[in-house]
Amino acid sequence: MNAKSLLIRAALGGLAAVPLQMVACSAPSARPGNDALTEIDPAIEYARRQRREALEAYQRAAKLHADGEYERALEVYRQALDLDDQLYAAWNNMGQLLMLKGNYSDAVGAYQIAAELEPTDPRPVYNIGLAYQQVGWAQDAHRSFDMALERDKNYIPALRGLVRSAELAGMGDRELLAKIKRAMLIENEEEWREYFLGQSFRVQAMVNIERGRP
């Protein structure tokens, strides 16, 4: 499989919808006969209702997304975020749909918000790298994939993207070589293992030149 096909597979792998777990809320407790405690503050009740409606809208959007109704899904994701702009999965998935439309600038903006809301998840940062890669910004893509690996050093889509962007940018050093070797240890797909092997030879040659070896 050639490098272009591998890049397309990487891009498609990054566009899977991120599921959002529904969180069960515990009911407020109060001692019987204490009206001050049993009454629900209107502001709190309003916030709960907003959150509930936002989650319901997100679930509708995710189903539309899965069914391929992208325009409608994008509209409903926006409705969910109007109700609760803290739904990081909605921001991430909206970014995916914007990328499909070729709107890479707005897609990156959505991914950046998702990455800030969920600072341990490598996927939004990885998706930023994909957007940069799609428009030919190999070095920016490389930095984003590297940032995704700071969140999860074994996130294989980011390792694939990092190595591919380094190849496109003509980059190679001992740190990259170490990451290629780690990728080879955890990669399950044979075509990617072959790709990593070829890249290990390329980067090793660059390291040898840097060290003054033939």
The domain segmentation of the chain, as residue ranges, is 3-10+43-210
Of residues 145, 117, 115, the one with CA closest to residue 131: 145
**Cα–Cα distances in angstroms (integers) from residue 150 to residues 120, 153, 159, in the given order:** 9, 6, 11
Instruction: Please choose, from the candidates 156, 154, 130, 157, the residue with its C-alpha nearest in 3D space to the C-alpha of residue 143.
Output: 130
pLDDT score, position 40: 65
From first CA to last CA, the distance across the chain in angstroms is 30
Residues sharing a CB contact under 8 Å with residue 12, sequence separation 6 or more, in sequence order: none
pLDDT of residue 101: 95
- Kindly list the averaged pLDDT for each block of 10 residues, start to end, along the chain of length 214: 44 39 31 50 84 94 96 97 95 96 96 97 97 96 98 97 97 96 96 97 93 68
Per-residue model confidence (pLDDT) at position 14: 41
pTM of the model: 0.78
From residue 28, alpha-carbon distances to 23, 24, 38, 41, 106 in Å are 15, 13, 8, 11, 40
Domain range 3-10+43-210, CATH architecture: Alpha Horseshoe (1.25)
Q: Is the dihedral of CA 157, 159, 163, 166 positive or negative?
A: positive
Residue 213: predicted pLDDT: 64
